Structure 1
Amino acid sequence: MINIEFSGKIWYWRGPSPYFFVTVPAEPSDDIHHISGIVTYGWGMIPATVRIGQTEWQTALWPKDGGYIVPLKDKVRKAEKLEEGDEVVIRLEIG
């Protein structure tokens, strides 16, 4: 199991299924990549427990551009009063 903490800005993807994300920085993405083969359930998705502020949830990190992104559910953003462009501290537990 690995625990990672980082900060990043919330961004919005306006594709066919719009969603909010935070990009995992390069160094922690490399750490995740090293264990990805033993934790992925397919398509490069990495199951994780995520915490922002007082809100914790289960999700999967998505592979993107050689790294990973964290999807943010509406429920989480509302609970923590977060909007696009906000800087957040994210704690990940993987494995």
Structure 2
Amino acid sequence: MAEFEFDADLWLYPGKGGWHFVTLPADIAGQIKFLAEPKARGWRSEAVIVRIGKTEWTTSVFPDKASGSFLLPVKAEVRRKEKLAAGQSIRITLSLDGR
């Protein structure tokens, strides 16, 4: 299972719903695209296991045409537990979920 560790800024989507995301660094997105290509899923999403601080959860990253990368949604429960806010740089460990 491929594992990546990186720092990225948390940002708030300006549209309806107020979702918070992290845009994956381009080099990591490229590696995920390469590894995921043979088993591409709906919307070309990729199942991942994410850890921020002491919080770990399973989610998916989604391709983003604007950046050419993937977007990682960071749910409210995680933001509360880890005291995260939009604009903050956070350390993330992300693993491809081989299920």
Aligned-pair Cα RMSD in Å? 1.2
Aligned length: 95
Question: Partner residue of 1:2?
Answer: 2
**Worse-matched range after superposition: 7-16 or 38-47:** 38-47
Question: Partner residue of 1:76?
Answer: 78
Question: Partner residue of 1:20?
Answer: 20
How many percent of aligned residue pairs carry the same amino acid?
Answer: 36
Report which of the two has the higher share of strand: 1
TM-score (norm 1): 0.93
SS in 2 for 1:16: coil
1:75–1:10 distance in 2 versus 1, CA, 3 Å: same
Question: How far apart are the structure 1 equivalents of 2:40 and 2:75?
Answer: 20
SS in 2 for 1:82: coil
User: Is the 8 Å Cα contact of residues 40 and 47 (structure 1) preserved in structure 2?
Assistant: no
TM-score (norm 2): 0.89
Question: How far apart are the structure 2 equivalents of 1:17 and 1:44?
Answer: 22
SS in 1 for 2:61: strand
Question: Partner residue of 1:11?
Answer: 11
TM superposition shift of 1:37: 2.2
